[in-house]
A and B are shown apart, each in its own frame.
Chain A
Amino acid sequence: MTKDTGRSTAGAEAPRAMTSPLLLLAAWLVPGLGHWILGKRRRALVFFAVVVCAFLTGVLVDGELGTPRPGEPFSWLATLACLGNGLLYLARLVWINGVSGALGGLPFGLDGGGDPIAVGFTYGNTFLYTGGLMNLLLMLDVSDIARGEKD
């Protein structure tokens, strides 16, 4: 049985077009917005709901947003994963640190929130990382769709 994965074979022959940076920026800032702009409305709504649910669950069970810390290389990976949440990440950072605190705390003085002794702390972190990584995958998907390699 063949599965319809949406992967197009036309991209192999046609020259690859560039994806608009603005489209990728939109896809990063708001989960699903890239798909919405490309006319994939149903998928966009599902992706938006999934990423927002993952992020909110992470916050509600006291997960900590990844922020860079000196001497801790893995904190950069956590930051990259969480940064994938786009506006949600930025809004949460501002919520915790305030606007001046978020700007003044760059790069090592940011508070990621969360409660390390809370029961849901590690679960919360996992949800926050997962949401961000899913949105990064969505950006790649948007790029593929925009270049005509997927439908």
Chain B
Amino acid sequence: MIQAVAPVQDNFGPVKSIAPLDEHSVTITDENNHFIEVSLDWTFATSQ
């Protein structure tokens, strides 16, 4: 399991999706299609 935080703008809404960008980062998108890219070794969560 990975538990993480990331800064967002005040207008960032409810998260609509979190999906891999590459092996070491994810894209987090809100309901208004604002998005951020977060450095994260997400494969840890799928390799257990």
The answer to whether A and B assemble together is no
A residues engaging B (CB < 8 A)?
none
Interface, chain B (partner A; CB < 8 A): none
